[in-house]
């Protein structure tokens, strides 16, 4: 057969593993991953059925896990509490307690792992009986300004405990600026702020809500569409994110990650801030479910999903795969 007369043969750059590594445009390492962890005040750590391989940890067990994470070069975790029902109320007052579970965990973690970066969620949904991310107004909707006032106190308590980054995930208007001003007024000028800048009203949060116990109200999944973003809207997402930047965010986040790679790419073109993405519990669970049925290769699907998020523009990724990816990472 007569060879084609081609000047350009792109396959030359894919000929071997060594050449493919040399030509790779996107690189992902464990140091760019954040492991979201759930903690509770029970006697033992327990499995979360809807999140295979993920537990609700006791603080003592989490300390042991962090020893492993540091050896694996995972340098950050994000803390989420599963609050005892007796501590919940309509106003989420336990969130403002200086000695609540998260704040005690922050102090313990910083005492044992001062070089581990800690991120704390700033939202009321784990603490409220209704499961919403804020305080309800007379009309039954989440009241923006009253919620911002409560979140500001919550963030101040986390800063006092020694957190590296507060991460407001509630999507209230103006909360980034209010929290930044309050932290600075208290002298916590070194405490960072990662804004959930483009958090969508997604169907992919179910396992997370199971994990923190905020998943249902009167038997139905909660409707958070008056404060979380419409999945149809890209321009609105960019606008919200740029408002958070203007209010003083140190990094911006997109959540979910895999279904919103276009948002990541758009934001990457608009901001010089560090950009992150949260691969949600639903994204993680669906990959596991397909792999359990033999429809996907778990490790390959995991790695491809993370690489896609990085390629779209994320500097770091919150993912429940952080530990397993690090365990199998080959530099």
Structure tokens at 78: 């994000």
Q: How crowded is the C-beta side of 200, counted as CA atoms within 13 Å?
A: 26
From the candidates 55, 88, 224, 255, which is the catalytic residue? 255
Task: Judge residue 16's burial from the number of C-beta atoms within 10 Å of its C-beta, 0-12 exposed, 13-18 middle, 19 or more buried.
Answer: exposed
199 is catalytic: yes
From the candidates 55, 199, 224, 266, which is the catalytic residue? 199
CA nearest 68: which of 38, 41, 35?
A: 35
Strand partners, 229: 200
255 is catalytic: yes
Does residue 186 contact residue 156 with C-beta atoms inside 8 Å? Answer: yes
Q: What are phi and psi of 62, to 5 degrees?
A: -65, -35
Pairing type for strands 46-47 and 55-57 reads antiparallel
Q: How far apart are CA 190 and CA 187, in angstroms?
A: 8
Q: How far apart are CA 105 and CA 102, in angstroms?
A: 5
Angle at CA of residue 54, ends 312 and 68, nearest 5°: 85
H/E stretch holding 195: strand 192-199
- Chain centroid, CA 233 distance in Å: 21
- DSSP classification of residue 24: -
Virtual torsion, Cα 152, 155, 156, 157, nearest 10 deg: 130
Q: How far apart are CA 153 and CA 156, in angstroms?
A: 5
Q: How far apart are CA 132 and CA 128, in angstroms?
A: 7
Which residues form the catalytic set? 199, 255
């Amino acid at each position: 057969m007569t060879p084609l007369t081609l000047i350009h043969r792109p396959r030359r750059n894919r000929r071997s593993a060594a050449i493919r590594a040399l030509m790779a445009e996107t690189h992902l390492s464990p140091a760019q991953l954040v492991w979201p962890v759930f903690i509770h005040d029970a006697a033992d750590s327990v499995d979360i059925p809807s999140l295979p391989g993920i537990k609700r940890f006791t603080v003592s067990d989490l300390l042991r896990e962090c020893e492993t994470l540091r050896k694996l070069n995972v340098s950050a975790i994000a803390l989420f509490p599963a609050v005892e029902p007796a501590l919940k109320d309509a106003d989420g007052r336990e969130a403002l307690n200086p000695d609540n579970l998260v704040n005690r965990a922050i102090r313990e973690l910083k005492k044992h792992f001062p070089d581990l970066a800690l991120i704390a969620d700033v939202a009321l949904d784990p603490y409220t009986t209704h499961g919403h991310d804020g305080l309800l107004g007379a009309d039954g909707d989440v009241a923006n300004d009253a919620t911002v006032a409560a979140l500001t106190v919550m963030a101040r308590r986390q800063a006092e405990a020694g957190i590296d980054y507060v991460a407001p995930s509630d999507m209230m208007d103006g909360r980034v600026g209010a929290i930044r001003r309050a932290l600075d007024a208290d002298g916590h000028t070194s405490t960072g702020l990662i804004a959930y800048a483009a958090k969508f009203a997604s169907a992919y949060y179910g396992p997370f809500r199971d994990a923190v116990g905020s998943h249902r109200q009167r038997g139905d999944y909660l409707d958070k569409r008056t404060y979380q973003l419409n999945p149809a809207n890209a321009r609105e997402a960019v606008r919200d994110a740029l408002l958070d930047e203007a209010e003083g965010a140190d990094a911006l986040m997109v959540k979910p990650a895999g279904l919103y790679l276009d948002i990541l790419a758009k934001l990457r073109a608009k901001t010089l801030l560090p950009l992150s993405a949260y691969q949600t519990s639903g994204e993680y669970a669906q990959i596991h479910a397909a792999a359990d049925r033999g429809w996907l290769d778990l490790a390959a699907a995991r790695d491809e999903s993370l690489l896609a998020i990085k390629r779209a523009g994320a500097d770091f990724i919150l993912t429940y795969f952080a530990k397993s990816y690090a365990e199998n990472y080959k530099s």
